[in-house]
Structure formats: structure tokens, C-alpha cells
Amino acid sequence: MKINEIRKVLEKEQQRLAVELGIYSGSESDTDRTVSPFNKKMEAASQISEYEQKLVNVRRIKQQIAEVEHALNKIQNGTYGTCDNCGKPIPEGRLKAIPQANLCLDCKTRQHQSLLRPGVR
């Protein structure tokens, strides 16, 4: 895959994520619902749960946007395809599957393991 093709894929993903973020950010109708006097607690709990899920989704989308923007910056700087951690080349197959990947598979595996077992190096 050529760098210009990768840039286009990343830019398209960036646009898709921006639209998705706009959908979540613009859905304020959840807070406009009237609460039934008979089920106020259940309705309030449901609204809180929906709001928490919305926050999780917004946080996930913002993280994905940051990853895509980081990859686009790496393209601009001429460092795309190198691991942010060890500096080794990221295999082309990994970049085809995940164009915004910023870690080689070894470093990503170590990162994942350290998240699973905090305090263990």
C-alpha cells in the first residue's frame, strides 16, 4: 500500500469518526424526556446508564480520532510505519489491517500484558 493510499484511508476514517462523534455529541434528546411520576427511580437509573454509555462511546471515538491524527502526523513527518516505542518498522500487514497502528506487534503485546497485570514488568 502506498503512502498516499494510506493517507486517504486515514483521512476517510477521520471523517467517519467525526460524524460518529457528532451523532453522540448532538444527541441531547435523552435529557429532554419527561420522567413518569410512577417510575421516577427506574427512569432516572435508565437515563444515568444511557448517559454513562454515551460517555464511554465518546471517549472511545475521541481516542480513535487521536490515533488517526497521530498516524497522519507521522506520515507528514516521514516516520509513518515505525514503532513509537522501539523504532523498528511495523510490518506492512499490520499497517494494512490497522493503518493507525503506532506500535509493532511485540511492543503492542507487551503494552497489553502490562495493562492486564499492573505493576508487573
Q: Convert the pLDDT of each residue in 60-80 to its tens digit.
A: 999 999 999 999 999 999 999
| CATH class of residue range 3-116 | mainly alpha
The pLDDT score that the predictor gives to residue 63 is 97
Q: Report CA-CA distances (Å) from 80 to 9, 36, 52, 70.
A: 14, 54, 35, 9
Q: Where are the domains of the chain?
A: 3-116
| Furthest-apart CA atoms within the chain: distance in Å | 62
The pLDDT score that the predictor gives to residue 49 is 84
- Percentage of residues of the chain with pLDDT beyond 70: 86
Task: Please give the grid coordinates belonging to residue 75.
Answer: 506520515
Instruction: Evaluate whether 89 touches 82 at the Cβ level (below 8 Å).
Output: yes
pLDDT for 117 beyond 70:
yes
pTM for this one?
Answer: 0.77
pLDDT for 1 beyond 80:
no
SS (HEC) of 34-101: CCCCCCHHHHHHHHHHHHHHHHHHHHHHHHHHHHHHHHHHHHHHCCCCECCCCCCECCHHHHHHCCCC
